Structure 1
Amino acid sequence: MRAAFFLILATLFWAGNFVVGQAAVQSMAPLQLTFWRWTLAALPLLFLAHMVDRPDWRAALRHWRMLLLLSALGMTAYTLLLYSALQHTSALNASLVTSANPVLIMVLAAVLLKDKPRPLGWIGLALGLAGVLLVLTGGQLQRLLTFSLGAGELLILAAITVWALYTVLARRVAVPAVTSTALQAAMAAVALAPVAAVTGAGFPSTQSGAWSLAFIAVFPSLGSYLLWNLALKRTGAANAGNYLNLIAVFTAIITILLGQPITAAQVAGGVLVISGVLLTGAAQRPQRPKSSKPTSSPPSEALPRLRAR
């Protein structure tokens, strides 16, 4: 029960990142939001890693090249693309498309790692793709024939592609979960600092921008990671992964509470995407647990590695 509570809170905070992030990009540039998010979260994450993982920091830093690449992909590129997408599409659309990440990860794993899915996995892939197309086109599939997808939809597709690549690569890093996340966040903050200085990406000048940034830094960036890793000490990775479908559900609930409309295409697409994700997860070959600690970091806003947890 405690693991379920942790997982529900973690996914609720990640859903909040979509909604609050969409509000934040109205007054902050995606680069500004990304830089300050990881700058504010880096030190608490490093402290958390030291307390939870008790890592050998020297041994962890021997993997700096791969950690730097992962930071560039998962912390910088994914976050920039996500917040850029939220300038052009709704938080609900973004969360629904992001829910298809396990399906895309399955495809990349098959291509790059020769990890071929079972037939049930291909059915899940087809359902997930159909759901994403419904969401992207608003139920008007003829838009695909005229290549009339909007900028937001294209950006969120790019974002989940980057995250899928990040996920596949991160499976090979033998660094404890929170430590890996903390080091990647610190690297992102340091790497973005010169760009932020040149572009004048200062701290938010408005009170609403500052509160939005504080929420993103504390809850999705720090709170979700802590809750996720605490849950993984008490439950299996496959069970935890299923809870990530709640991100789109919570985003929909928040959207309704805020008085924003939800279309039939979004509902139907969401059902198809989540069904596809569940089938994809069911198609994974069971693996014997290697240890009580995960060996890689959980996602910022999205979905777990299919076999590493």
Structure 2
Amino acid sequence: MKSYRILLFLVLANLFWAGNYVFGKSIVETMTPLQMTVSRWCVAVCFLFPITQLIEKPDWRAVLRKWKLLLVMSVFGIIGYNFLLYEALRFTTSMNAALVNAMNPALIMLLSALVLRERVTAKHGVGLVLSLFGVLLVLTKGQLGQLLHLDYNEGDLLMLLAILVWSIYSIVGRRAASIPPIAATAVSALFGLLMLMPFALAFGAFDFEVSRETVTGILYMGIFPSVGSFIFWNASIREIGASRAGIYLNLITVFTAIFSVLMGQSITVAQVLGGLLVFAGVYVTTRQGTDGKRSEGNPATTTRG
């Protein structure tokens, strides 16, 4: 039952993040990345602390004793990734950003092996290849030769930096296993806001045009990807490790394609096939460790040394 709960958490986390791409792109023309980041986490903090107290009832003194670790998580996951993502969306499309994001699982797997010494198995590799191939089919509509002709602009390069920052956040998050996941997210978000506030006041982060579109976008980004995704992601990587969880990040691209269809765009056979391959890759990776003896959530099943 725990494995299905983690599966649900990872699917929902990436579903909400896919919406972050869509809403982020829709309001980046009227708000700066700084305004979007600050507004998003102002909303999130209002929900995170009550939810933390209601569900986890943490020992806040014990949590704050880990302030150095939480500060690092804040710099990379709360400030760095989000600012770079929204800055990238100023110059590139949400689909191009999703294409670059497809490299994230491989980067997390590599860093996990180097830093955490997590064991990379053959099934990990097969799942990764299947998912990445599926993502490329979705994005190129079956014309894989287009990959050789993509014009990587400033936004694409910023997105590369963003996924590097997120990979580091995921590795650091694995070290925060002793901190309740919602409490860790809440305190990290608060630290991020405190660090951003001087810049927000200096550069007018709260001076933007209020419209139905901006309010909807901010509320969505502040509640679903900021609260839901971060809680689900942090809880999941503690159970199965950063490298196994990372393969699910490819679902962002599939969900982005689904959102595109809901917005009136057509879907092709190649996109359907690509989506199935992504899910197949996720399934193969999830099945890793189910053969023979298995200890779900035991660090010994995902790391060496």
Q: Which amino acid aligns with 1:53?
A: E
Q: Is the 8 A contact 1:24 1:209 kept in 2?
A: yes
Alignment of 1:35-184 (within 5 A): 35-128=38-131, 139=143, 148-173=151-176, 174-184=178-188
Instruction: Report the number of matched residues.
Output: 286
For 1:125 and 1:9, locate their aligned partners in 2 and report how far apart those are by CA, in whole Å: 19
More deviation, 189-198/257-266: 257-266
1:194 aligns with 2:198: yes
Q: What per-residue deviation string (whole Å, max 9, x for no partner) do you get for residues 151-197 of structure 1?
A: 23222222222111111111111200100000011111110001111
Identity of aligned residues (%): 41
CA distance, structure 1, for counterparts of residue 272 and residue 89 of structure 2: 19
CA distance in 1, matches of 2:252, 2:150: 28
Q: Secondary structure at the match of 1:206?
A: coil
Deviates more, 1:89-98 or 1:198-207: 89-98
Deviation at 1:258, TM superposition (A): 1.7
Q: Does structure 2 conserve the Cα–Cα contact (< 8 Å) formed by 1:78 and 1:162?
A: yes
Separation in structure 2 between the aligned mates of residue 82 and residue 114 of structure 1, nearest angstrom: 28
Q: TM-score, normalised by structure 2?
A: 0.76
Q: Residue type of the partner of 1:177? A: P
User: Per-residue displacement from partner, 1:9-34 (whole Å, max 9, x unpaired)?
Assistant: 65443322111111011111111100
What is the aligned partner in structure 1 of residue 217 from structure 2? 212
Q: CA deviation at 1:217?
A: 1.2
Asked if 2 retains the 8 angstrom alpha-carbon contact of 1:92 and 1:255, the reply is no
1:288–1:136 Cα change, 3 Å: closer
SS of structure 2 residue aligned to 1:28:
coil
User: Which one of 255, 258, 265 corresponds to residue 263 of structure 2?
Assistant: 258
Q: Distance in 2 between matches of 1:284 and 1:6?
A: 19
Of residues 21, 24, 32, the one that matches 1:21 is 24
Quote the offset at 1:243 in angstroms: 7.1
Q: In structure 1, what is the Cα distance between the partners aligned to 2:108 and 2:287? A: 14
Tell me, which stretches of 5 or more residues in structure 1 are unaligned?
292-305
Give 1:244 shift.
6.2
Higher helix content, 1 or 2: 2
SS at match of 2:209: coil
Q: Give the C-alpha shift of residue 257 in structure 1.
A: 2.2
Distance verdict in 2 for CA 1:123–1:12, change over 3 Å:
closer
Q: 1:77 to 1:278 in 2, by over 3 A?
A: farther
Q: Deviations over 1:110-139 (max 9, x none)?
A: 111222311232334445555666778885
Hey, what's the Cα distance between the residues in 2 that align with 1:85 and 1:266? 24
Give the distance between the partners of 2:70 and 2:10, measured in 1 at CA. 26
Give the deviation of 1:104 after TM superposition.
Answer: 2.2
Moved more, 54-63 or 258-267: 258-267
Alignment-derived partner of residue 295 in structure 2: 287
Residue segments in structure 2 that go unaligned for 5+ positions in a row: none
- Do 2:131 and 2:281's aligned partners in 1 also have CA atoms closer than 8 Å? yes
CA distance in 1, matches of 2:34, 2:100: 22
Alignment CA distance shift 1:77-1:270 (3 Å): farther
Q: Indicate conservation of the 8 Å contact 1:35/1:192, yes or no.
A: yes
State the alpha-carbon separation in 2 of the partners of residues 55 and 86 from structure 1.
Answer: 37
The 8 Å contact of residues 138 and 257 in structure 2, kept in 1 or not, is answered as no
Aligned residues of 1:31 and 1:201 also touching (Cα < 8 A): yes
Alpha-carbon RMSD across the aligned residues, in angstroms, is 3.7
Question: What residue identity is the alignment partner of 1:114?
Answer: R
Distance change in 2, residues 1:60/1:215 (3 Å): same
Which amino acid in 2 is paired with 1:45? L
Instruction: Please say if residues 74 and 189 of structure 2, whose CA atoms lie closer than 8 Å, have aligned partners that are also in contact.
Output: yes
TM-score, scaled relative to structure 1: 0.75
Mapped contact 1:133–1:141 kept (Cα < 8 A): no
